[in-house]
Amino acid sequence: MRIWFRPKLVDAFRQYSAADLRMDLVAGVTVGVVALPLAMAFGIASGVTPAAGIYTAIVAGFLISVLGGTRVSIGGPTGAFIAILYGIYQQYGANNAAVCTIMAGGFLVLMGLCRAGTLIKFIPFPVTMGFTSGIAIVILFTQVKDFLGLEMKRVPVDFLHQLREIFSHLGTIHSATFLLAIGSLVAIRIWPDRWGRYVPGSIIVLTAGTILVGLTQTSGSFGLATIGSRFGGIPQGPPVFTPLHVDWFHLHELIRPAFTIALLAAIESLLCAVVADGMTDDRHDSNTELVAQGIANICTPLLGGIAATGAIARTATNVKNGARSPIAGIVHAFVLLVIVLVAAPLAKFIPLAVLSAVLVNVALNMGEWHHFARLRKWPRSDASVFLLTFVLTVAIDLTVAVEAGLIMAAALFIKRISELTNVNAITETQPGNHSHVQMSLPAGVMVYRMHGAFFFGAVDKLETALKRAGQEPEVLILQIAEVMAIDATGLNALEDLFEKLARKKRHLILVGPHTQPLLAIEKCGLMQRLGMDNLCAELPMALARAEAILAGNTAGQSGGKG
């Protein structure tokens, strides 16, 4: 019996060498340092503390590496969750937000157990790119307060209220904060890639900003907001168990946001796995990865963290620094833990302006801005789905955007497929219609050729074609050799047509069904009722069968009665 849940860590120890360990250690330490400012920034932007972001990177990073289905993927908090988590924390509170994340973890585990990992690829590209660009805009606007140093108590969840609050407080811009933020952003953007492989620009500006505040904190000449001034610093210790209270009466209200978190985690983690595969020439196990993501999201909130998933940028950094196995991800988690245990007191000097610049850079890199210029070249339906998802993500929330985007994309897909389905009357057989000679149709016989998928979106085309004829033949032949697929609605239409004809002592013949339609017709019992004589491989055989029925052949009469 094949064991389907097999973490990549199990296979990593096969032929694992000292050289591999050395490369994993270097990559793990580097990614741990890179993850530090991001983890704090994502925690703050999500509406919680910087410590929650770091704890997420430690706990989720460790569990995803130990249990995951990829060799080099790095797990932790990401920008994709900021929009949804901030709204949940504001609306339901920290406790319910943690419960919501645990529910999302449960959904992810169920997805993995149900082998749904491969289904994520069916989410349309315009939907994923639309909400990704929308999330980038949401991140940018949530950072305006700290980037400009505005004297706002908090940033509203609703986008229009955000705009109103921001514009009403533009007169409170703190010049020192803005100069530090813009300087940090520029430094991050121009930091050479060849140096960033070893020391990322975000670490440079974080260190420089912390030193600046530390040296001037006594005089208070700059008045910069810091982690210490807003959050009181970061606890100097490992993550500890945090008991949660479940509000069973309002639990149903968390199902939709929990499913959105699960869907986002699944999409981003599997996209991250695909990116890692492309960089390492490996192949991930999507279902194992989903289970690992689910377990991480169940455990992390219990240890003071937030939602987590695979982080594409950190994974790419991991690969570029030579990671060979999940050991690198485990090392990255331990590096963050050591930093918390040793350097936590220094965190109180970290300026929020620098962390805001780090997040603005993330948003600028995250947004799929080039797709806006390509919209005119896309099919109008895909462009509409992209814009709808983008606008709803920004203006309302991510849950509504994903739901609406998927519904619209599905509706447009059904419309496209139905347009490819055709039902045409054949007045005389021609070469190419499974006949090598031309012959006239017998009186009382009508032949219709169906092409495409015969499903719920195209059933009306058969009904319309039959009504257009204005008469019912003694024998109706449906040539379905070019019908590649049929669903329950299509089968029901065929059954209704057969029964309608049978009640009037008329007959139905099917010609050349492919494998899927043939198996479906057999499984639903229509083949038995139709009679094997009325299921023909080619049109000449069907015409001969029709002539036999019209001539009063006994076999034809019994077959027509089903």
The span from the CA of 550 to the CA of 548, in Å, is 5
- Tell me the pTM: 0.77
Over residues 147-166, mean pLDDT: 83
Q: Are 417 and 452 in contact (CB under 8 A)?
A: yes
Give 207-247 pLDDT, tens digit per residue: 999 888 887 765 445 778 889 888 888 888 889 898 888 88
Give 375-414 pLDDT, tens digit per residue: 888 888 889 999 999 999 888 887 788 888 888 988 888 8
Confidence of residue 439 (pLDDT cuts 50, 70, 90): low
Q: Is a pLDDT exceeding 90 seen at residue 67?
A: yes
Stretch among 23-37, 297-311, 316-330, 424-438 having the lowest mean pLDDT: 424-438
Q: Is a pLDDT exceeding 80 seen at residue 198?
A: no
> Which tokens sit at 17?
């060498």
Would you give the end-to-end CA distance of the chain in angstroms?
Answer: 45
The span from the CA of 340 to the CA of 396, in Å, is 37
In the prediction, which pLDDT does 557 show? 42
Residue with structure tokens 């500006």? 205
Over residues 416-422, mean pLDDT: 84
DSSP assignment of 226-248 equals: BHHHHH----SS----------G
> Which tokens sit at 201?
């620009």
Q: Is 438 exposed, middle or buried (0-12, 13-18, 19+ CB in 10 A)?
A: exposed
Over residues 116-128, mean pLDDT: 81
Q: Compute the Cα dihedral for 489, 493, 496, 498 and give only its sign.
A: negative
In the prediction, which pLDDT does 341 show? 92
Nearest CA among 179, 193, 192, 214 for reference residue 354: 179
Residue with structure tokens 């994903």? 402
Q: Is a pLDDT exceeding 50 seen at residue 558?
A: no
- Whole-number Cα distances in Å, 493 to 240, 455, 460, 498: 61, 9, 9, 9
Stretch among 41-45, 105-109, 469-473, 536-540 having the lowest mean pLDDT: 469-473
- Whole-number Cα distances in Å, 307 to 58, 238, 256, 421: 12, 18, 15, 44
Over residues 488-493, mean pLDDT: 91
In the prediction, which pLDDT does 429 show? 52
The span from the CA of 157 to the CA of 402, in Å, is 18
Provide the percentage of residues in the chain whose pLDDT is more than 70: 94
Confidence of residue 307 (pLDDT cuts 50, 70, 90): very high
Q: Is 139 exposed, middle or buried (0-12, 13-18, 19+ CB in 10 A)?
A: buried
Higher pLDDT, 252 or 430: 252
In the prediction, which pLDDT does 218 show? 52
In the prediction, which pLDDT does 61 show? 96
Domains, the chain, with CATH or none: 17-148+164-182+199-230+254-357+370-398 (no CATH), 422-560 (3.30.750.24)
Give 509-520 pLDDT, tens digit per residue: 999 998 899 999
> Which tokens sit at 250?
């309002």
In the prediction, which pLDDT does 560 show? 43
In the prediction, which pLDDT does 3 show? 55
The span from the CA of 205 to the CA of 360, in Å, is 14
Confidence of residue 129 (pLDDT cuts 50, 70, 90): confident
Q: Which residues are bridge partners to 440 per DSSP? A: 428
In the prediction, which pLDDT does 470 show? 72
Give 310-364 pLDDT, tens digit per residue: 998 899 889 988 899 999 999 999 999 999 999 888 888 889 999 999 989 988 8
